[in-house]
Structure 1
Amino acid sequence: MRKETAMALTKKAFRQLQIPRMAEFAKTPAFTKESHRLQDQLLAYLTRHPQGSVGLTMSGGIEVPTEPLLTALLAAGRPVLLPKTFSDRTMHFVPYHGQAAELARTDYGILEPVADADEVPAIVVVPGIAFVRGSHARVGFGAGYYDRYLAARGSAIRHTVTMATSVMLFNAPTWRVAAHDVAVDTLLEGKQPNER
């Protein structure tokens, strides 16, 4: 665990430090090990919460890979929804059935649904670049899509959960937490407490 700094950074400054850290960690065997552990934990969590659809992103290269999760959920008959973003920085979730033709790459390089629908997932797997143990505060990639979505639709969502590798975990925020930031309900950790 890194030593936490006493002074809180702006989120922009924090992202400029954190995203390269995540990119470096993604090249390591520890990232692969933690990713597999987190995928298993999420599938076990969803088995314990079997009701309703799951909102999940198509991961980028520095995130825990979600393609195996999508494949497993679809094979089990679990409804899967993917986010579709809009230029006004809003998003909603669209049903996904596992076909490549359902997706197109955005200007940010992320695969999103081509179709348009608006269904609210029962469980949302929230992405981010940093999470705080205890409070479950988070920092996302910077556009605020999830904070806005969860603030607007949170009452219809049963639960939020996230997968955090060790490089994404903090004992206290080193960034400025804003009043509109929405914490996640459940934080899954890729590294066990007794591991070095």
Structure 2
Amino acid sequence: MTDKKKLRTDIRKRREEFVKSQLNGSVVSSGLPDSLKSLFRSANVVAGYVKLGSEVDPSDLISAAVDMGRTIALPCLIGRATDLVFRKWQPGDPMEQADFGFMQPLPSAEACNPDLILTPLVGFDRALNRLGQGAGYYDRAFAAFPDSLRIGIAWSIQECDGLMTDPWDMPLDAVLTEKEWITAPHSRIGA
């Protein structure tokens, strides 16, 4: 098994090349999986994100949640030394650029607790372990909101064989790629 830093570099390069070759940048070009529709219906607050670089663009998923009447939240960082806060957002609301370059709601937007978190990632495995950017923001958010369902959004080429995990890592409940909806027996939503 390779170290996480090298693995992140390798997957990011693979992801960049994959995205350049794609005509459609959506994981839901063939429609939203019924399982995810059901999860959206049971969630009051769905947390999404604004893609950065070659990450999967979750805007189609966010639009589907809006169409179902869900409240949308996006992650916010007040500074590099703080934890993620989720703030309410709706299409058209003003946004600002965070320290890491992603767009986020203004600090005046109301903070909220998500029922379901759509999370970007660098890599994942079939056991639903997630390899993030390496700063631990989502790991701490998952710990702060342990009851929130965690859905990874990724390209199929980001899948890895057995990721190394640390004691603080929390597995995802599912992963959505452009090819499939992936769950595991241990998942809180079932296999």
Give me the TM-score of the superposition, normalised by structure 2: 0.82
Residue number in structure 2 paired with 1:67: 59
Structure-2 residue corresponding to 1:188: 176
Q: Structure 1 or 2: larger helix share?
A: 1
Matches within 5 A, 1:1-196: 8-29=1-22, 32=24, 35-37=27-29, 40-41=32-33, 44-49=34-39, 50-51=41-42, 52-87=44-79, 88-101=81-94, 103-114=95-106, 115-133=108-126, 135-155=127-147, 157=148, 159-173=149-163, 176-191=164-179
What amino acid is the match of 2:117?
V
SS in 2 for 1:125: strand
Higher relative contact order (CA 8 A, sep 6+): 1
Aligned length: 177
> Which ranges in structure 1 are unaligned for 5 or more consecutive residues?
1-7
The answer for unaligned runs of 5 or more in structure 2 is 182-191
Summarize the Cα distance change of 1:11–1:89 in structure 2 as closer, same or farther, 3 Å threshold. farther
CA-based RMSD: 2.3
Residue 77 of structure 1: SS of its match in structure 2? Answer: coil
CA contact (8 A) 1:84 1:112 kept: yes
- Structure 1 counterpart of 2:138, one-letter code: Y
Pairwise CA distance, 1:100: 4.3
The alignment-based identity, stated in percent, is: 24
For residue 117 of structure 1, report the CA deviation from its aligned partner. Answer: 3.3
**Cα distance change of structure 1 residues 94 and 9 upon mapping to structure 2, 3 Å threshold:** same
